[in-house]
A = this chain, B = another copy of it.
């Protein structure tokens, strides 16, 4: 029986070939290079446990495919200088786009997630669908242009949007009325066929807090975003939990939990003040009425958060949201209320990423997409400092 047929001149094999071993070892080597930064072959050999000749052979292949780059050898030191290699981070780039109600934020990063360009555009909440999309598209184009990255080197785009997302399309969006039904994945696709990953904004913020934010050290977390809308993302076992219909953490639907009306109530408590950001700013500067209003808002938040906590039992709660870093205004009161509601009190942390959380999460999912063939088991934990 011809099991491993020679199709089109390429060896196609199934089961447990030696080639399977090679694949495993190759990803191990690349993962080491990715996680450790610049490395000599001996170092890679040490961390992977593979012999030096094997590592050399594998790395040679990667260099040929421009996935790994050779660096000039380190000058000092005794003995023959070792050749040094690093992951070819600048061979490709990814973009993270946060399309929000009041702003559009684009981040451009290389394949190691190193940020190259950040571009923030304020937009009118009432802006229509095509105009809003145009802002996003030109912002992305500018990012590429300003950083001198040819569009052809863009490997993936991540995009965050409010609303329920399914299969790249926005199924339901209450805050951007003409947004419902939009196939955002298709809308953002550039001329070149770059894969676009679309995800709910709260989910992306959660991913970001786990990647580079306040939840790096835990595997179970709940991320509450307080802003014009209250939403939450759920991280379980180090992975985002979307839920069956993508609705995990959407507590707004249960009136008893008071999430849906919380923002409106906050605004109503401060008549005359323009928008939520203004209320938070007033509270921060000591305005008594605004402070009381924020306090009520925190109270509204607490009930739903408590339900979420009891359901999921995370290690930490991260409080975030795009509004002028509102997290720290809320965290204290929330901590107090949750301690009363669900003993033992959970740990409440303030977002470390502020209003870049969503775009940072978008970078992360784009990165995962762009490297899924290099790292079938997911991105290795990198050595890159979190900025």
Q: Which residue in B21, B218, B243, B303 is a CB contact (below 8 Å) of A16?
A: B21
Contacts of A48 in B (CB 8 A): 15-16
CB distance from A286 to the nearest CB of B (A): 33
Contacts of A20 in B (CB 8 A): 21, 24
Contact B3 A16 (CB under 8 A): no
Q: Which residue in B218, B236, B254 is a CB contact (below 8 Å) of A307?
A: B254
Confirm or deny: A28 has a beta carbon within 8 angstroms of a beta carbon on chain B.
Answer: yes
Complex Cα gap A236–B246 (Å):
13
Contacts of A18 in B (CB 8 A): 18, 21
Contact A245 B307 (CB under 8 A): no
Confirm or deny: A141 has a beta carbon within 8 angstroms of a beta carbon on chain B.
Answer: no
Complex Cα gap A243–B313 (Å):
5
Stretch from A75-83, A87-95, A341-349 that touches the partner: A341-349
Contacts of A242 in B (CB 8 A): 313
Confirm or deny: A241 has a beta carbon within 8 angstroms of a beta carbon on chain B.
Answer: yes
Contacts of A307 in B (CB 8 A): 251, 254, 257, 307, 310-311
What's the tally of chain A residues with a CB closer than 8 Å to chain B?
Answer: 50
Contact A342 B28 (CB under 8 A): no
Contacts of A241 in B (CB 8 A): 236-237, 312
Contact B24 A254 (CB under 8 A): no
Confirm or deny: A278 has a beta carbon within 8 angstroms of a beta carbon on chain B.
Answer: no
CB distance from A56 to the nearest CB of B (A): 14
Confirm or deny: A14 has a beta carbon within 8 angstroms of a beta carbon on chain B.
Answer: yes
Q: Which residue in B243, B250, B343 is a CB contact (below 8 Å) of A253?
A: B343
Contact A311 B16 (CB under 8 A): no
Contacts of A14 in B (CB 8 A): 49
Contact B254 A3 (CB under 8 A): no
Per-residue CB proximity of A219-232 to B under 8 Å, as 1/0?
A: 01000000000000
Query: Can you name 12 extra interface pairs (CB under 8 A) apart from A18-B21, A257-B310, A307-B307?
Result: A16-B25, A16-B48, A18-B18, A237-B241, A244-B314, A245-B313, A248-B311, A249-B311, A251-B311, A253-B341, A253-B343, A254-B307
Complex Cα gap A105–B343 (Å):
32
Contact A220 B243 (CB under 8 A): yes
Confirm or deny: A50 has a beta carbon within 8 angstroms of a beta carbon on chain B.
Answer: yes
CB distance from A45 to the nearest CB of B (A): 8
Contacts of A3 in B (CB 8 A): 49, 51
Complex Cα gap A315–B310 (Å):
19
Contacts of A315 in B (CB 8 A): 244
Q: Output the nearest chain B residue to A58 by Cβ-Cβ distance.
A: B16
Q: Output the nearest chain B residue to A42 by Cβ-Cβ distance.
A: B1
The answer to whether A25 and B15 touch (CB under 8 A), given A3-B49, A244-B220, A313-B250, is: yes
